[in-house]
Chain A
Amino acid sequence: MLETLQAEFRRHAPAVDFCALRYVEESSEWLQVRQDVAEPPQLSTSRGAMVTVIDKGGLGYAATSDLSGAGLREAIERARRLAALTAGRSVVDYSAVEMPRPSGEYRSPAGRDPASMGRGAKYDLLAQEAKQCRIDDRIVDWEANLWSTTTHQAYMTAEGGLVEQRFNFVVPNLSATAHAGGESQTRTHGGRYNGFCRQGGLEVLDAFGLAGAGRRVAEGALELLAAPNCPSGTMDVLLMPDQMMLQIHESIGHPLELDRILGDERNFAGTSFVTLDMFGSYRYGSDLLDVTHDPTRPEQYASYGWDDDGLAAEKQYVIRRGVLERPLGGAVSQKRAGMPGVANTRACSWNRAPIDRMANLNVEPGESSLEALIASIDLGVMMRTNVSWSIDDSRNKFQFGCEWGRMIRGGQLAEVVKNPNYRGISATFWRSLAGVGDASTFEVLGTPFCGKGEPSQVIRVGHAAPACRFAGVQVFGGEA
C-alpha cells in the first residue's frame, strides 16, 4: 500500500517549491465494562493522506480518504490550487521557509502486543476490577475501560525523503461514583480524563496497577463523600503529578505555543500573555523550575522521531532555572518569529493541517523527597487528580480543581478534604514554586484530549512531573 502510494505521489507531484504527503492509518479498540455489564466493543480505522504544496510563497493543503491514483491526483491539484490562491497573501512567504526533507524510522517501545491478548480476556480483566468497585450501596456508578491504538504514519517529500513512524498507545481507566445526601463524589484511577496514557504494549497495564484498583477507587469515592469541604484561604499547595500535568499543560504549555504568540489562535483557542521579547530573559518561575520539551522519552504518550513537518525531535529546555528560553514552535513558526523553537508541528490525523502543539512537556525532578515536601508545609493542601480546569484566553488567570485533597498542618498529613480548588495567575504562579520532588515522586502522564486549532484538532500530549510545592496560593472548596 505504502509503496504504491509513494510511487503515485512521486509520479504526480507537481513542479513547485515544495510538495509533501503525509499518510496516516490509525486503528483503535475501546472496551468498557460499566456496572458489571460489558458494553459493545468500539473499533475504528481511519485512513487517508494530506498533501502539502508550497509554491511562489503560497501554501495549500488537501486531504483525502480516497487513496486511489485518481483520488491522490485530485488532492494534489486541490493543494496546488489553494497554494496559488494564497500566494502573496499569506502571513509569511512560505517558499522562504526551509522545509525539512528527512528520512528515517521511529517505533514505540515494542512491549507486549495488545493484540496478543484476546478481546474476551480483556473484558474479563476489566470485569474483574469493575466487580471490586461494588463495596457499598452508596456506590452508584462504576466503570473500567481499556483503549488501545496503533498508528502507522509516513511522511514523504517529492524529492525522495521518507519517514515512517509506528506508534502503539494504551490507555486504561477506572472510576467509581458514590452518592449520599444530595452529593456525589467520584474517584478515578488513571485520571478523570484518561491522564494515564502511554506508548507501549500490555506492560502499560502493569505500570498502571490495574490489579486491586477497583476496590481502591470505590473506597476513595466513599472517603470523599464523608470528608469536609476543602477550607478557603491562602496556603501552600502540594500538587501531585496527576494535577501537575494539568498545571503544566495550561499555564506553561499553551502560553508558550508560538502560533498562539503569533496570533493564529486568537479567533478560537486564544492568545498568550507571553510575548516574543520575553524569551531569554523573562523569569517564568523560581530557580527550582526546569521545563523540557522531550519527545524522546520512549514510554511517554507524545514521543516521536519527527514532527509532521519533518523536523527531527530532540529534548530541549524551554525554561531553565526559572528563566524562559525558547517557545514551542516548529519550522514555519520559527521562520515567522525569527527564533529557534522545537519540533512540535503536529496534526491530530491525516485530515488536519499541522500546527504548533505541545508534545511531551515535562517538569524535571528536583531533590526533595515527598516526606521533606510535606514536612516543609505549615498549612497547606496536598491535591491529587485533576477534575476541573479553566483559564483565560491569554492563559493567565486560572482556576483548577482536584478530585482529592488532604490537609497538611504543622508539617504532618491531616484530614482528607473534598472539592479542593485553587486559583492563580500563570505569569506569577510559577515563581511561588518552593519545592520540587525528586525522582521517587516523578510520574509519566498526559492527556489524549488537548483541543486547539481551526479546524478543530484533539491531539495526544504527555506531561511528566514530580510532586511540587507552591507557597501562598488562593485555595477554596465546594459550595456549602
Chain B
Amino acid sequence: MRQYFEDLARFVDSLARPSEVIISRFSAEDSDFIRFNRSKVRQATGVKQVAWALSLIEGTRRIDASTSLTGRIEADRETLRGLVQALREGIADVPEDPFLLIETRPLSSSTERAGRLPAAGQVIDEVLAAGQGLDLVGFHAAGPIHKGFASTMGVRHWHSVESFSLGWCLYHDRDKAVKSSYAGAEWDNAAFAGRMAFAREQLARLGEKPRSLPTGAYRAFLSPDAMTEILSMLSWAGFGLKSRNTKQSALIRMADQGATLSPQVTLAENTAGGIASGFQGEGFVRPQRVPLVEAGRLATPLVSPRSSREYGVPTNGANSDETPESLELAAGSLPQAEALAALDTGLYIGNLWYLNFSDRSACRLTGMTRFASFWVEGGRIRAPLDVMRFDDTIYRILGENLEALTVERDLVPDADTYGERSTLSMRTPGALVREFELTL
C-alpha cells in the first residue's frame, strides 16, 4: 500500500502548476468487523476502503476536497486528475484566507507496525467458545490502517499499523454487566482466555442484590475506564487555543480566573506514548509531548496551524479541532491493589457513560454510572450498584476532592469506528475522590 501511496502522491505532485501547492492526505483500511450478541454472531462485515483528500492552494486561497478511490492506481490517477481540475476551476470563487498555514519544510516521517492478526473465523471460534453458557455481547475490529501525507513542498509522512480490538460484555441481567477488552497487534489465545476468566470472576459478583442509593455526595474510586470518560470531556472542549481565546473552553476559569485542579493533576498530549500518527492535516509533525496541565495549573494550549496564524502563536502540530489524540494523565502514588482499602466505604465506579456539560463555563459535568460499579464497605465489594447520575464540577472531582491517583495506568485505545477506525488513545490512572455528587 505504501508504494501505491508514493506513486499516486508523485502523480498528484506532477499535476501542480508553478503557482500552486497541492497537499495530499491518504487513508485506507481493510477491516473485519464482527458483532456478537447472546454468544452468537449478529453481523460480520468486511470493509475495504481507500480515500484521498486534496488541498489546492494558490496564493492565500485554498480549497479542500476528498474522494473515495479504488486502490487501483490507473483508475485512481484519472479520478485525482479530474478532482484537481475541478478544484482549479472552483478556487476563483474562494475568498482569500488570512489564516492559511501549511508545513513548507521538506520533512518526512515513517511508522510501520506489522501485527499478527487473527482471521475472522478464528475470532468467531474463540469468542463463541468462550461465551458458551454466558450472555456475551461484543464487537471485534481488526486489520491494517494506513495514513499518508504528501505535498508539493516535498513533505512526506507515512503511518501504517495492523491492530485488533475486541470489546465485550458479560451480562448478568438487564443492565448489569462486566465490560472487558482485549486489543493489540498480536492476538494470543491464552491472553484472551485470561481476560475472559477475569471477567467471569467479576460476573459472579453481579449476582448479588443490587444496591439503590439515595442521591448525595459519596466517596468514590473511579477506574481508569471511568476516568477516560471524564478526560474525554476535557479533550472535547478544554485544551484548544481557539476555544480558550473565544472563551468557550470548558477550562475557561483556569485560563482567565486562576482556577486550579489538584497539584496531583498533570495532563499532556503524549504523541510519543500513543498510537496516533505523528503528523497532522497540514503536514506539521507533532512534538513528542505537549504539557496541557502541570501540577493542577493550565499549561500550553493545543495550537492548530489555523489558530497559529489567527493568534500569532507557533503551532504545536494540533489537529484542526485542537483536541488531543494521545492524552495522558500522570500516575499518582496509590497502588491499585490498595485502592479498595483506601476507599474504605463508598462507590467503586468501573465505567461512566454519556457525559455532557451541565454548565460548560463552570466545567460542570453530568453522566451515568455503567457496567461493573459496586458499593464498597470496609474495603470490600458488597453489592452491585443500580445506575446513578452524577453532576459535579471538574474543579471538585479533580480538584479539592481528589485524594489520590493510582500508580498503575491503563492505555485505553479509542474503540470508535465512525467512518474509519480511530487511532486515538488515552493513558490514565484510577482516581480516589473524597466526594462525588449523585443527583438521580
Contact = CB atoms under 8 A, between A and B. Distances in A.
Contact of A66 (B37, B71, B359): B71
Q: Mostly helix, strand, loop or mixed at chain B's interface? A: strand
Contacts, number: 264
Contact of B418 (A48, A394, A397, A457): A457
A351 B31 CA distance: 11
Given A40-B62, A65-B51, A184-B252, A399 B358 contact: yes
B65 A478 contact: no
B138 interface: yes
Of residues B45, B72, B121, which shows the largest number of chain A Cβ atoms within 10 Å of its Cβ?
A: B45
B185 interface: no
A419 B45 CA distance: 43
A353 interface: yes
A86 B246 contact: no
Give the most central of A352, A390, A391: most B CB within 10 Å. Answer: A390
Interface in B281-325: none
A89 B128 contact: yes
A114 interface: no
B417 A454 contact: yes
Nearest to A38: B95
Nearest to B94: A41
Contacts of B421: 455
Given A85-B124, A454-B33, A46 B68 contact: yes
Contacts of A474: 440
Contacts of B141: 455
Contacts of B393: 479
Contacts of B88: none
Interface stretch (A6-14, A118-126, A304-312, A430-438): A118-126
A376 interface: no
Given A182-B252, A184-B361, A393-B354, A454 B174 contact: no
A458 interface: yes
Contact of B37 (A264, A392, A393): A264
Interface stretch (B261-269, B364-372, B404-412): B364-372
A62 interface: yes
Interface in B235-255: 246-248, 252-253
Given A141-B248, A186-B248, A399-B440, A66 B354 contact: no
B64 interface: yes
Interface in A29-53: 37-48
A184 B45 CA distance: 45
Interface in A290-340: none
Interface string A69-104: 001001100110011011001110000000000000
A85 B48 contact: no
A388 B44 contact: no
Contacts of A123: 93-95
B256 A263 contact: no
Contacts of A179: 246-247
A91 B40 CA distance: 5
Given A68-B75, A177-B246, A353-B45, A38 B124 contact: no
A12 to B, nearest CB: 16
Contacts of B360: 184
Interface string B17-58: 000000000000001010111101111111111110001000
A184 B356 contact: no
Interface in A138-158: 140-141
Contacts of B139: 267-268, 454-455
A271 interface: yes
Contacts of A380: none
Given A66-B72, A266-B169, A478-B362, A393 B353 contact: yes
Contact of B94 (A67, A119, A355, A392): A119
Contact of A65 (B48, B135, B417): B48
Contacts of B98: 37
A190 interface: no
Nearest to B256: A182
Contacts of B387: 392-394, 397
Contacts of A47: 67-68
A397 B71 contact: no
Nearest to B55: A40
B174 A67 contact: no
Contacts of A409: none
Given A63-B45, A184-B247, A390 B38 contact: no
A59 interface: yes
Interface in B174-228: 174-175, 177, 179
A89 B355 contact: no
A186 B361 CA distance: 11
A74 B359 CA distance: 51
B94 A40 contact: yes
Contacts of A352: 45, 47
Contact of A61 (B45, B246, B354, B356): B45
Interface of A: 37-48, 59-68, 71, 74-75, 78-79, 82-83, 85-86, 89-91, 118-120, 123, 140-141, 177, 179, 182-184, 186, 262-264, 266-268, 270-271, 349, 351-353, 355, 388-394, 397, 399, 401, 419, 421, 423, 425, 451, 454-458, 474, 478-479
13 contacts: A40-B100, A60-B45, A64-B47, A65-B48, A65-B51, A78-B48, A140-B246, A266-B137, A353-B33, A353-B43, A393-B354, A393-B387, A478-B361
Given A182-B253, A393-B354, 14 more contacts: A40-B62, A40-B63, A45-B65, A65-B51, A79-B46, A140-B247, A141-B247, A182-B361, A267-B168, A270-B175, A388-B366, A390-B356, A392-B387, A478-B361
8 tightest Cβ-Cβ pairs between the two chains A and B: A479-B362, A455-B417, A141-B246, A478-B359, A179-B247, A454-B139, A43-B65, A38-B95
